Structure 1
C-alpha cells in the first residue's frame, strides 16, 4: 500500500470500529453477487473492514408488468437512493444499465467507482439448444429490453417477441416450463451467478450491415457502479481506490450520449465505448424504433482525456440523423 492508502485504511478502520460500512443493494441473486464483488475490492484496500449488506426491495423488482407503466428504470434505484440520502446506507451498488439517463442523480450523491467491466455480449438460451437462426417462424422469444426487441425484430421479424420479467433464475424457469422457445439475457449476469453453462449462443456485439445477426449492448452494460454521498469524504476516497479508470472513461462517454439523447426506459438505445489498440476512445451509438425497422447509427473517436465530448458528439450526430423522432415515437 502507499502512504495515502495506509492513511485512508486507518481512518476508515477508526470510523467503522463500532459500526459497519452499510452497502445497499437490490434483493436479486445477481445484485447480491455484484455486491460481493464490491466487498472483495474493498477488502483489498481496507482488510478486515466490517461491512453489512442491506438488501432493499425496489419497486421495479416487485412490479410484474411493463416497466414503462410504472415510470421507467428509476424504479430500480429510487428506494436505494432514498436510503443513501437519509443515511441508512453508506454506499449503493447498481447495475449501470439500470440507471436511467433521463433522471439526474439525487443531489449530493455521485458514482465514486466503476468496477472493471465484464462481458458486454447478449446471449440466447433456447429450450431445445438451437440457435436463433434455426428456430422456426413464430417461435416465442422472451426479453424485457426494448433494445433487444428492436434489434431482434430487425433480423427475425417472423418471431413472436414477448416481455419476460423477473430475475435471471425465474426467467430460465419460465423457459424450461415451456412459456418461451428462447430468451435473451446478458452474458455477464449469467456468469456472475454461475449459470453461463445454460448459454446456447453468444450474439456478436458489433453491428455490421443490418443483415448479420448482432446485438449492440446497452449503455452501461456489464458495469457495476458504486454510489455514495459526496459529503462523505473518506468513503468517496475509498471508492476512488476501487475505481477502474478505463471503465470510468467508457461509462462517461456512453452516459453523456444517453443523457443528451434524453432516452427513457422505452427507448431502444444501444451504445458501447472502448479504448482502441492505438489508444483512442471509440464510441458506437444506435437508436431504433420499436420494431427495428428504422434506425440511425454513429461511430466516433476521440482522446481518452475527454470522454464527455465524444459522448456529446455521437449524441449530436444521432440527433442530426433523426434520433429524436425515433425516441419520441417510443413514448406512445
Structure 2
C-alpha cells in the first residue's frame, strides 16, 4: 500500500494554497506518496476581536496541534510567524522541515495607488499587528491605524468595500493567494522590520512518526532552518506576549555566515531597542540567545512588561 500523509491546515484560502505547495513538493520527491487535506477552522479564524483575549497566537495553531496529536492527521503546515514563540512546541511534536524562505517584507495595498507618504492625514490603514502599528505610529503619526481581522482575502474585500484607505499585508501572503498585483508599495526591512518567522512555512509532525518525518525532512532548506532557529530562540528568550512589538530577521549568507537583526518597540513606536549580532562560532540557537541578552541589557524586559496583555 502507498504511504498516505494526511495534512491538517487552517481552512483559509492562503492556508490551503500553502498546503498545495507542500503536496506538490512531496509528490515531486516521493512519486508514490498519497496526500490528503484535513482542513480545520481555528478559534483564531472565528474570533474577530483582539488576539490577546484568546491567549495570543496559539489561537491559530491549537486546533491544528490537537488534530495532529490525536492522530487525525500526520502533518501540519504552519506559517512560522503564527506559531507561539514564548513556549515550546506541544510535547510529542517536532518541526521536520522548513521550506525555503519567501519574501519577508510587508506591503501596502491602496485602491488609490498611493504610497504611505502620499496618503492624506487621517487616512485609515488597516492592520492589527502591534509590530506594524508601532512602526507606523513612529514614522507616519498622521495616519490612523485601524484594527482589522480575518484572512487576507476577507481583508481585501473590506478594503474594496471602502472600510479602509489602505492595508498592510505580507508580500509573501499576497503572492501565495495570487494577489501580488495589488501591491502599491513594498516596504523595505529598514522601514518596516518584519515579524519573527516571516516568509517561512514550518512542517510539523508527531515526533515518533518516523515514516512521515523521513518523508518530510527531504523538503528541509538548511539555510532557512538556521535562520528560523536563531529567530525563534531570540523570541523565546525575550518571553514576549502577543501585544509585544517584537521584530527581527536572521540572514544566512552564501558563505555560511549568520546574523540576526532585532528590534523591540514601545506600542507608540517612540522607543526602539535595536541590535545586529553575528554568529561567528555560535550556533543559531546561541546567536538567538545572545541577541536576546543584548536587547534585555538595553531594557527589553521592562519595556515588554509595561505593555498590558
TM-score range, shorter chain: over 0.9
Tell me the CA shift for residue 330 of structure 1.
Answer: 2.0
Q: 1:1-332 to 2 correspondence within 5 Å?
A: 14=1, 16=3, 20-205=4-189, 207=190, 214-303=191-280, 306-332=283-309
**Matches of 2:237 and 2:304 in 1, distance apart?**
12
**Matches of 1:240 and 1:277 in 2, distance apart?**
22
**Matches of 1:330 and 1:46 in 2, distance apart?**
48
**Matches of 2:161 and 2:14 in 1, distance apart?**
22
Unaligned runs of 5+ in 2: none
| Contact 1:281 1:304 (C-alpha < 8 Å) held by counterparts | no
**SS of residue matched to 1:242:** coil
1:241-289: CA deviation from partner (whole Å, max 9, x where unpaired):
1111110000000000000001111111001001235431010000001
Tell me the CA shift for residue 215 of structure 1.
Answer: 0.5
**Matches of 1:58 and 1:222 in 2, distance apart?**
21
Q: Which structure's CA Rg is the greater one?
A: 1
Calculate the aligned-residue CA RMSD, in Å: 1.2
Unaligned runs of 5+ in 1: 1-13, 208-213
**SS of residue matched to 2:213:** helix
**Matches of 2:60 and 2:216 in 1, distance apart?**
22
Tell me the CA shift for residue 103 of structure 1.
Answer: 2.5
Tell me the CA shift for residue 303 of structure 1.
Answer: 3.8
| Contact 2:2 2:33 (C-alpha < 8 Å) held by counterparts | no
**Matches of 2:263 and 2:26 in 1, distance apart?**
35
**Matches of 1:40 and 1:300 in 2, distance apart?**
36
The size of the alignment, in residue pairs, is: 309
| Contact 2:2 2:32 (C-alpha < 8 Å) held by counterparts | no
Q: Which runs of 4+ in 1 moved over 4 A?
A: none
**Matches of 1:276 and 1:317 in 2, distance apart?**
22
1:68-93: CA deviation from partner (whole Å, max 9, x where unpaired):
11111001001011111110000101
| Contact 1:300 1:310 (C-alpha < 8 Å) held by counterparts | yes
CA distance change for structure 1 residues 305 and 246 in 2, over 3 Å: closer, same or farther? farther
What is the TM-score of this pair, normalised by structure 1? Answer: 0.91
Tell me the CA shift for residue 236 of structure 1.
Answer: 1.0
Corresponding residue for residue 5 of structure 1:
none
**Matches of 1:261 and 1:331 in 2, distance apart?**
16
Tell me the CA shift for residue 320 of structure 1.
Answer: 0.5
| Contact 2:261 2:277 (C-alpha < 8 Å) held by counterparts | yes
**Matches of 1:138 and 1:277 in 2, distance apart?**
44
**Matches of 1:238 and 1:330 in 2, distance apart?**
43
**Matches of 1:194 and 1:172 in 2, distance apart?**
12
**SS of residue matched to 2:73:** coil
**SS of residue matched to 2:277:** strand
**Matches of 2:100 and 2:20 in 1, distance apart?**
14
**SS of residue matched to 1:253:** helix
**SS of residue matched to 1:101:** coil
**Matches of 1:39 and 1:265 in 2, distance apart?**
31
What is the TM-score of this pair, normalised by structure 2? Answer: 0.97
